[in-house]
C-alpha cells in the first residue's frame, strides 16, 4: 500500500510540475505578445505621423495651406486653378488604382475583413499601397478621411510581425488590433480612443488577454508621435453646469437623428458608386470626375475638402448660421462623390466634422422650439453620435470626446447619444460603413468577430474516403456476398455512370430476407453534402435528413468524393469552438 501511495504522490507531483510549466509558458507567451505590441505601436505611430505629414505637405504645396497644412481651415482658395487640383489628382489616383489592380488583382484586405475571415493575415505590401493611396487622395483635396490609412498601416505591421514569427490565429488578431489602435491613437493623440477602436472595431470584442497588448501599442504610438514633434489639437468646450435628467432627452433625440443621417450617408455613397458603374465611364477616369465635383463644391467653402479636421475646430467654436446648413449638405455631397468615384479613404474624420455641423443645426432648431441647448455641447455630442452611426464603436467615440475636450461632464451626454445612435443603426440597418462595403461585395459579416475558422471548417476538410461502393443495379444476394454482416455499416451505391445513387444500411438488407434489387434499399438519394459547405451548413443537412452519415458529392459531376459522419462533424465543431474560446480568453 505504501508503494501505491508513493506512486500516486509522484504522479501528482509530476502533474503539478507540468501544470506549473504550462502556466509559466503561458505567462511568457503573454509577455512576448505585449513586447511585440510595443514594437507595433512605435512603428505604427511613426508611420501614422509620416502619412499625416505627407498629406499636410501636399496641402501646403498644392493649396497654400500654410505650415499646419490644414486645408479645410482656409476661408477660400487663393488661385482659381486650385479648384481643379482634385480633378487632376483624381486622374492620377485613377491610373494608379488601375495599375495596382493589374499587379495585385486579389484586392486589398482591410483589418476588419482580415480579422473576421482570415485570422488577421494581411499583406504588408498591400497595406502600404493602400496607405499611400489614402495619403495622396487626401493630399489632392478629396473629401476623404485619413483614418483608413492609419489603421491599415498599423494593422499591416502587426500582421506582418505575427506572420513572420508564426504566431497563433488569436495572437495575430490581437496584433492586428494593436496596430490599428496605435494608428488611430497616434492620429488623435488619444490612447484610450485608439485602444477601444481596436477592441470594438478591429478585434470585435473586449477581452482581458488583449487589454495589455492593445493599450501598450496605443500608448507608445502617442508617445512616439509626441517625441517626433506632433502637437495635439484639442477641442475647447465651455464649462457645463451640473446636469440633470431633463438634460438628457434632447441628446437622445440627437442620437436618433444621427442614426438616420448616418444611414442616409452610407446609402448615398453606395448610390453614387452604382451611378458611376452604370454610367459607362472607365474606372480610371471616375476619380477625375469626382474631383471635378469636389472642386466645384469647394467654390462655396474649402471646408468641404479633405477630411475636415481643420474646419471641425472652426465650426465647434462658432455660432449657428445658414452657412452651417450649406456646408453640411455640401460636405455630404463631396464625401459621397469622392468615395463613390473611387478615391480611397474613410468616413471617420468626415463623420466627426459632419456630426459637429449636425449638432449645431440641432441646437439652432431646439432654440426655435424654445428648448435651450448649448451649440458647442451639441456640436461635440453630434460629432460623436454621427461617427458612431457610420463607423461604430460607442465607447471609442466617448473616449475620443473625453480625450480631445478634457471634459468629463460632457462624456455622459456623448455616451447617451452614441448608444441611442448605435442601437438604432444596428436595429434598422445592421452595418457600419466598413461592414456595409463588405456586404455589398457579398460578405455576410457584421463586424470583426472571428468567423473565419468556421468558414475554413468545410466538409471537404472533414470528410473521409468512401469505404465501400456497390452498383445500384446489383442484387441483394450479390450485396450480401460482398459485405458480410458486421463488417461495415453503410455502403455507397453508384449508378452505371459512377454517379451517386444513395446509401444502404447493411443491417437493413440482411433483415429483409428476400432477394431483389439492392436499389430498393437506397436512402438519402437527394440528401448529400458538398465539399464547400461549412460545418454548420452540414449540420443542417444532417438534421433535415435525420441521418448519421451522408455522402459528399461533387455538385458539378455528381460523383462521390467521400463521406462524413455527423458525430465527427459535431466533434470537430466543438473542438474548434473550444479553440476559439481559448484564443479569446487567453486560456490554455
Whether residue 431 lies inside any domain: the answer is: yes
CA distance 384 to 454: 34
For residues 55 and 184, membership in a common domain is answered with yes
For residues 424 and 460, membership in a common domain is answered with no
For residues 211 and 257, membership in a common domain is answered with no
For residues 149 and 120, membership in a common domain is answered with yes
Strands 549-553 and 490-494: unpaired
The model's confidence at residue 404, banded by pLDDT at 50, 70 and 90, is confident
Q: Mean per-residue pLDDT for 161-185? A: 93
Residue 8 has pLDDT above 60, yes or no: no
For residues 317 and 277, membership in a common domain is answered with yes
Of the residues 406, 422, 448, the one at which a domain ends? 448
Q: 334-368 pLDDT, tens per residue?
A: 999 999 999 999 888 899 999 999 999 999 999 99
Higher-confidence residue of 303 and 231: namely 303
Q: 216-246 pLDDT, tens per residue?
A: 999 999 999 999 988 776 666 666 667 778 8
How many other CB atoms are found less than 10 A from the CB of residue 150? 34
The total number of structural domains that make up the chain: 3
232 conformational bin, left if phi > 0, alpha if psi -120 to 50, beta if neither: beta
Residue 212 has pLDDT above 80, yes or no: yes
For residues 252 and 394, membership in a common domain is answered with yes
For residues 505 and 408, membership in a common domain is answered with no
Whether residue 153 lies inside any domain: the answer is: yes
For residues 375 and 402, membership in a common domain is answered with yes
Whether residue 192 lies inside any domain: the answer is: yes
CA distance 141 to 131: 16
For residues 201 and 283, membership in a common domain is answered with no
- pTM here is 0.81
Of the residues 414, 448, 482, the one at which a domain ends? 448
CATH of the domain at 70: 1.10.3080.10
Q: 519-554 pLDDT, tens per residue?
A: 888 888 889 999 988 888 888 898 888 888 999 999
DSSP secondary-structure letter at 475? B
For residues 444 and 463, membership in a common domain is answered with no
CATH of the domain at 507: 3.10.580.10
Of the residues 227, 258, 285, the one at which a domain ends? 227
For residues 440 and 458, membership in a common domain is answered with no
Q: Which domain holds residue 412?
A: 245-448
Q: Mean per-residue pLDDT for 383-397? A: 91
For residues 204 and 84, membership in a common domain is answered with yes
Return mean pLDDT, the chain: 86
| Longest CA span, the chain | 100
Amino acid at each position: 500500500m505504501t508503494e501505491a501511495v508513493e506512486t500516486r504522490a509522484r504522479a501528482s507531483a509530476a502533474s503539478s510540475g507540468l501544470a506549473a510549466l504550462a502556466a509559466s509558458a503561458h505567462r511568457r507567451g503573454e509577455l512576448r505578445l505585449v513586447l511585440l505590441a510595443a514594437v507595433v505601436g512605435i512603428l505604427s505611430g511613426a508611420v501614422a505621423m509620416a502619412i499625416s505629414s505627407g498629406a499636410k505637405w501636399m496641402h501646403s504645396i498644392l493649396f497654400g495651406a500654410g505650415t499646419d497644412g490644414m486645408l479645410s481651415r482656409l476661408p477660400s482658395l487663393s488661385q482659381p486653378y486650385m479648384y481643379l487640383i482634385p480633378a487632376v489628382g483624381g486622374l492620377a489616383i485613377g491610373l494608379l488604382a488601375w495599375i495596382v489592380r493589374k499587379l495585385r488583382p486579389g484586392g486589398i484586405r482591410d483589418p476588419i475583413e482580415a480579422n473576421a475571415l482570415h485570422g488577421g493575415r494581411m499583406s504588408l505590401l498591400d497595406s502600404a499601397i493602400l496607405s499611400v493611396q489614402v495619403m495622396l487622395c487626401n493630399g489632392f483635396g478629396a473629401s476623404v478621411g485619413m483614418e483608413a490609412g492609419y489603421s491599415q498601416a498599423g494593422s499591416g505591421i502587426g500582421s506582418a510581425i505575427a506572420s513572420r514569427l508564426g504566431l497563433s490565429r488569436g495572437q495575430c488578431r490581437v496584433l492586428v488590433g494593436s496596430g490599428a489602435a496605435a494608428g488611430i491613437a497616434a492620429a488623435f493623440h488619444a490612447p484610450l480612443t485608439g485602444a477601444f477602436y481596436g477592441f470594438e472595431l478591429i478585434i470585435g470584442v473586449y477581452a482581458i488577454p488583449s487589454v495589455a497588448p492593445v493599450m501598450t501599442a496605443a500608448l507608445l504610438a502617442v508617445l512616439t508621435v509626441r517625441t517626433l514633434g506632433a502637437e495635439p489639437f484639442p477641442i475647447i468646450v465651455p464649462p457645463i453646469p451640473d446636469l440633470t435628467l431633463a438634460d438628457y432627452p434632447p441628446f437622445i433625440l440627437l442620437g436618433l437623428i444621427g442614426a438616420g443621417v448616418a444611414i442616409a450617408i452610407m446609402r448615398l455613397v453606395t448610390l453614387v458608386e452604382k451611378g458611376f458603374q452604370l454610367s459607362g465611364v472607365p474606372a480610371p477616369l471616375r476619380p477625375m470626375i469626382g474631383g471635378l465635383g469636389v472642386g466645384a463644391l469647394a467654390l462655396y467653402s474649402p471646408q468641404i475638402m479633405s477630411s475636415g479636421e481643420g474646419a471641425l475646430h472652426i465650426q465647434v467654436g462658432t455660432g449657428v448660421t445658414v452657412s452651417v446648413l450649406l456646408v453640411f449638405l455640401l460636405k455630404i455631397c463631396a464625401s459621397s462623390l469622392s468615395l463613390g468615384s473611387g478615391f480611397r479613404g474613410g468616413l471617420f474624420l468626415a463623420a466627426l466634422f459632419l456630426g459637429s455641423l449636425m449638432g449645431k443645426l440641432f441646437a439652432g432648431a431646439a432654440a426655435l422650439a424654445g428648448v435651450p441647448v448649448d451649440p458647442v455641447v451639441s456640436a461635440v455630442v453630434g460629432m460623436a453620435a454621427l461617427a458612431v452611426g457610420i463607423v461604430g464603436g460607442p465607447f471609442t467615440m466617448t473616449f475620443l470626446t473625453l480625450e480631445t475636450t478634457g471634459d468629463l461632464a460632457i462624456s455622459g451626454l456623448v455616451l447617451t447619444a452614441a448608444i441611442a445612435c448605435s442601437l438604432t443603426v444596428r436595429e434598422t440597418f445592421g452595418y457600419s460603413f466598413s461592414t456595409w462595403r463588405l456586404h455589398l461585395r457579398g460578405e455576410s459579416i457584421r463586424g470583426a468577430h472571428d468567423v473565419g475558422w468556421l468558414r475554413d471548417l468545410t466538409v471537404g476538410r472533414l470528410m473521409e474516403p468512401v469505404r465501400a461502393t456497390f452498383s445500384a443495379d446489383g442484387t441483394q444476394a450479390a450485396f450480401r456476398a460482398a459485405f458480410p454482416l458486421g463488417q461495415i455499416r453503410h455502403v455507397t451505391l453508384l449508378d452505371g455512370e459512377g454517379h451517386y445513387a444513395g446509401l444502404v444500411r447493411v443491417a437493413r438488407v440482411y433483415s429483409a430476407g428476400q432477394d431483389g434489387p439492392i436499389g430498393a434499399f437506397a436512402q438519402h438519394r437527394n440528401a448529400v453534402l458538398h465539399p464547400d459547405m461549412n460545418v454548420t451548413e452540414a449540420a443542417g443537412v444532417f438534421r433535415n435528413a435525420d441521418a448519421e452519415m451522408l455522402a459528399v458529392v461533387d455538385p458539378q459531376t455528381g460523383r462521390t468524393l467521400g463521406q462524413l459522419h455527423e458525430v465527427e462533424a459535431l466533434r470537430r465543431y466543438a473542438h474548434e469552438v473550444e479553440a476559439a474560446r481559448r484564443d479569446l480568453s487567453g486560456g490554455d
